[in-house]
Structure 1
Amino acid sequence: MPALEARNKLFAAAVPAYLSASGLFVAVTTKTAADLAERIDHDSLDVRSAAAQIRSWTRT
């Protein structure tokens, strides 16, 4: 489903901003975020792995 795929990528790109707005400190470089987006884009990363990676970027 191409439309769903595009929305998932958009959501993944917005997550760090949402986490920051929620009061969490997000420590990630642009390159690291771009690398994650590329891995998601090329289907070499499943949802759970992507979530774990994003969680590792935050602290309260």
Structure 2
Amino acid sequence: MVEASDGYRALFALPELDPSFTDRVILLADRRAGKPLDDRQGPLRIVAPGEKRPS
């Protein structure tokens, strides 16, 4: 479970993250284009390639 500063919560199940279940890569980013994320985007951001609706 991860929680954003605005209270939004997202839950990831083990099969979504564990390489023994999937080849999908989920990233936890603290930078974009080499620069720290701004207050609106960060300090950390989950990047889940292939998601149809980023949140």
Higher relative contact order (CA 8 A, sep 6+): 1
- The TM-score, its normalising length taken from structure 1, stands at 0.25
Using the size of structure 2 for normalisation, the TM-score is: 0.26
Q: If each structure's strand is expressed as a fraction of its own residues, which one has the higher value?
A: 2
Larger radius of gyration between Structure 1 and Structure 2: 2
Which has the larger helix fraction? 1
